[in-house]
A = this chain, B = another copy of it.
């Protein structure tokens, strides 16, 4: 115990931590063997397993003063589950590698685990295993698995000229929320004048809401290509254009810019459409569909696939803005 009478992960030790966290993580029906052995075991009824991984580093992907442990857990899970969903698969389980300073409060770790659990619960997945070690920074490695349920995977490479481009989920919200935090304007005019429109944007940065059900839905509707928007719409659609050998032309009028984004943009002197087109981390899904398809209202048509190359926004010169984790 330390002098502050807060139990830390250093007090618990590696095996104490593992036992404590495992107790917070119920195992769903897809899990055949949960935490506690050399490896976990998850059902893969399709005979193929989808797998994706992300590494999140303190002060680069999250800040401990801007996000709670619970939010960080939700977000770290969400960005991986979203990648699974963007293949048209159903997430089944995640494993988490954690690096934590020894002085981390055990309650902080509980909240982080609860965040992982609750985000996984949204899609019927479970935290099936992990690894924990000491590190001066908080480091979170998440790997998510998914099952395709007999569907073909929807890659980035199948878009064809004549397809329509559509998105499901939010765009630009997380970027606006981050900009508000960076400008110290998360509360609007000040802490005594909270603005719910702005608070919602900051919440979007802290805790993305990927449109999970839309992934398998898109696959079933015959989506020819799909990805989740993690680095910015223009940059991510650029990957679809490159992988598919096509061009993409977007109609800027197709994007409804919500009032909250307009408010935040006025406050910060920013262009809200720039957030929509280049902001990442909302984990919207962007997909291409055969021209004749009838899309449910959760999907918004934003453009079309052409014979060209790259991504063009009609009437706008764009620089393919987005996030590069070594250059930014």
Contact = CB atoms under 8 A, between A and B. Distances in A.
Interface of A: 9-10, 12-15, 17, 32-33, 36-57, 60-61, 83-84, 86-87, 89, 93, 95-99, 102, 128-137, 139, 141, 143-146, 148, 153, 155-157, 226-228, 243, 324-327
B39 A87 contact: yes
Given A39-B146, A55-B98, 5 more contacts: A9-B326, A41-B48, A41-B87, A97-B141, A139-B139
A32 B53 CA distance: 17
Given A37-B156, A57-B99, A57-B135, A51 B327 contact: no
The 5 closest A-B pairs by CB, nearest first: A141-B141, A55-B97, A44-B44, A39-B52, A143-B143
A143 B49 contact: no
Contact of A325 (B37, B134, B148, B228): B134
Contacts of A145: 49, 51, 145
Q: How many copies does the complex hold?
A: 2
A47 B44 contact: yes
Contacts of A98: 55
A37 B327 CA distance: 21
Contacts of A139: 55, 57, 99, 135, 139, 141
Contacts of A128: 51
A33 B93 CA distance: 19
B41 A153 contact: yes
22 contacts: A13-B326, A14-B324, A32-B48, A33-B153, A37-B157, A39-B86, A40-B50, A41-B148, A42-B48, A44-B46, A44-B47, A52-B95, A54-B131, A55-B139, A57-B99, A57-B139, A61-B133, A132-B326, A134-B325, A139-B139, A139-B141, A141-B141
A136 B57 CA distance: 10
A42 B227 CA distance: 18
B40 A51 contact: yes
A33 to B, nearest CB: 6
A132 B325 contact: yes
A178 to B, nearest CB: 17
Contacts of A14: 324-327
Contacts of A155: 33, 37
B42 A49 contact: yes
Q: Which of A13, A41, A131, A143 has the most CB of B within 10 A?
A: A143
B134 A326 contact: yes
B38 A87 contact: yes
Given A39-B51, A53-B97, A60 B134 contact: yes
A48 B42 CA distance: 6
Contact of A39 (B38, B56, B84): B84
A90 B47 CA distance: 15
Contacts of A40: 50-52
Contacts of A324: 13-15
B326 A129 contact: no
A36 B325 contact: no
A126 to B, nearest CB: 12
Q: Which of A10, A43, A102, A133 has the most CB of B within 10 A?
A: A133
